[in-house]
Structure 1
Amino acid sequence: MQLKDARILIIDDDTDVLTAMRLLFKAKVKEVVTEKKPDHILSILSKSSFDVIILDMNFNGLVNTGNEGLFWLRKIREANDKVDVILITAYGDIDLAIRSLKEGASDFLVKPWKNEKILESVQDLLNKKRSPKNAVRPVQLRGDRILGESDVMRNVFLKLQKVAPTDANVLILGENGTGKDLIARALHDNSLRKDKPFVKVDLGALTPSLFESELFGYKKGAFTDAREDRKGRFEAASGGTLFLDEIGNISLQQQARLLTVLQNRYITPLGSNDTVPVDIRLICATNIGLPELADESRFRKDLIYRINTVEITVPPLRERGKDIRLLADYFVQRYAEKYMKEPFSLDKSFVEKLTSYSFPGNVRELQYALERAVIMAEGETLYADDLVFSPIEKYQQPEGPRDLKLETIEKNTILKVVEKNNGNISKSAKELGITRAALYRRLHKYDL
């Protein structure tokens, strides 16, 4: 469908926004309708049909949940589940906008928007109407790819493609070996900062004495071995992206120092009284789960909020189903070329052994196992005997005891019920045996 044939509905309580949108679309689409009051949406939809709806996420006091965009998105979905909805959100609402994608939103844009971007977004949605089944493409990464066709990886790609162009801070969660560093790099490479520095810091490898000098830099003479001025990682990444890996391993004292820098957006090198402004997009990663991070004896909650505007969880390989074979084909071909061997075929016994293994070491373990198989193979076919898994991963310690605090149990129960009911508050409250108002209070209490 062409843009000139489209009918667009725009809902926003800001008259200036409506005027700007009307002027933008008036000469480009068949019809543009604007509406200031969201409670008129259902009446409008009952009388007219639209190809795309552009919906603000916040209105003045109509729904006292802070989630107005989600509320009206659900109402639109109930009235017409075919129409595409683009949400317009302020920078601070990006995490809410990401949640809206699960509720059925087609896209979201951040205020202030660029006219070219919003026109492109609308045209993309109109193009997709001609091809209803659209696969999420693998994210291209300099010289490598993040591969995945499973549903869990499609969700990761969707989040990545929506979040990457923004400056939102991202927290990447996942077990060791799942590819969190690849996700971090993809976020940078698909951002507006892609031509600026990407600086990675492994916080787990920094001793307490090196933490400040490595991150914030130092002046000549600041300590015994400081023979010249040196920029820290924050300053080196200025204008680009700073990736702090293993963020869950730093001490509370280091967390306090990091929080101060993130709040003030400047650093003070060791041995100096002068502040240096820094402009970075922050990405953090950890193999520690959010429930553990939320323990304030281990990690500051105010720092979690600062680094976790948007959260991306990379699933373990055992949950990725058909991706195991997809990755296996890729790595076998890659290592055959690297070691100058003829292309391999995979015997049925090899594939069965591969797909029945749990891969506690995740993609990293798969990669090393396949590299070994290619090196040691005698012929041009890989058999089950060629596949040897790492003995290091077989003796992992079992997971620790579950968190049985009442608050944690209540939070997890609410989260599961709300997700089960696709965000429908009325159904969720009924299933939980509480009132809607009581459920809203708990959602606010646990920041869900």
Structure 2
Amino acid sequence: MDSLSENGQSAAPSSTLSVLLIDDNASVAESIALAVRLGRHRIDCAAGPEEALSRLAGTRYDVILLDMNYGANRTDGAEGLALLARILSDDAQAAVVVITAHSGVRIAVEAMRAGARDFIMKPWRNADLLARLAAAAAPRAVAAAAAPAPVEPVRLLGDSPAIERLRALVRRIGPTEAGVVVTGPAGSGRALTAAALHAASPHAGAAMPVIDLRDDTAWGMLDGPAPTLLLRHPDRLGEVAQARLLARIAPATRCIAIADDAGAILPALGRRIATVEIAVPPLAQREGDALLLARHFARLAAARYARPVPAFTAAAEARILSGPWADEVRGLSAAVERAILLGEGEVIDATLLGTLPVTAAVEAPAARFDLDENERAVIEAALLEHRHNVSHAAAALGLSRGALYRRMARHGL
């Protein structure tokens, strides 16, 4: 790699870029990050696809530097190409620059055909690296100046087949003018799905007013000029109110609705606002996504409260995956945030993911989980808290499964 200029700075353009580097090699990441920062740009680093998608869900970057291999002894570039496809499917305008060794020219060419803006060979020259980053980011900057994109990206996180089907529907229906009703359990991500549909539409640059139809005062927003409206709870309106809503919607306005029961929307209104129903899958149908989401929520909460990003113990991972979570994904997010606030150190154990309220010290003391004083009541409470999962209850009580089973038998539980 070349040296920087005599004053320690690169001759790259002075405008500051935000860069995301995705590379699992710590020494490579450190070297690139140093060069980018000395070039007066901002850089975040992700060690792999999961962390990269987590960061992209919260931040819009000017350019993404993408390594092509992450698994041990992988050289075929399949992981990088899959991640590139995922990034571009969420944001077709993303500026991606591929990093590869000289032996990976074929992979770099394939990545360019798949939508990457450029590629950089290892070892790189710092001046060339910075120039290529600036060149890759330039088209996006011009497009943003002409038609500003949404400030925050909208990404539906998860690797399960169920969430991939949801993303595929968003990609297919989002760019159309069709009315869409988003259903599924409350807390599962219905509002995020509606936002993703809007972000994929030709009207993504315009605000999408949110109208809670249960609030009479919110109906006045129907008269404002907006290419897209988000209507909440049209299924809770009576027949007369639904007819009134249909008459109030401007002919050129696209509607995206959120409802508990699409069947409760009358046919006339449904033809206008619910041409397509998209059902957001509950967390229980998303296989291993709960753990991926928990790690994402942990990164967000750690940044919010200036805490180190914690790791989950094996018991905590089992608790996250076993569910169920009241209020779905939203409930999981709240539990992880609470665990980071209450935890000490850099590890989250299963006991921190409980759902019991935290009691202030000035209030009456809660029942003590003390096996010597009130063993039967404590065991019953622990089993109830952990939904009769003996392994989780035993971990919370500091016992082995066998020891807990013996005590349960002694008390007739």
**Normalising to structure 1: TM-score of the pair?**
0.46
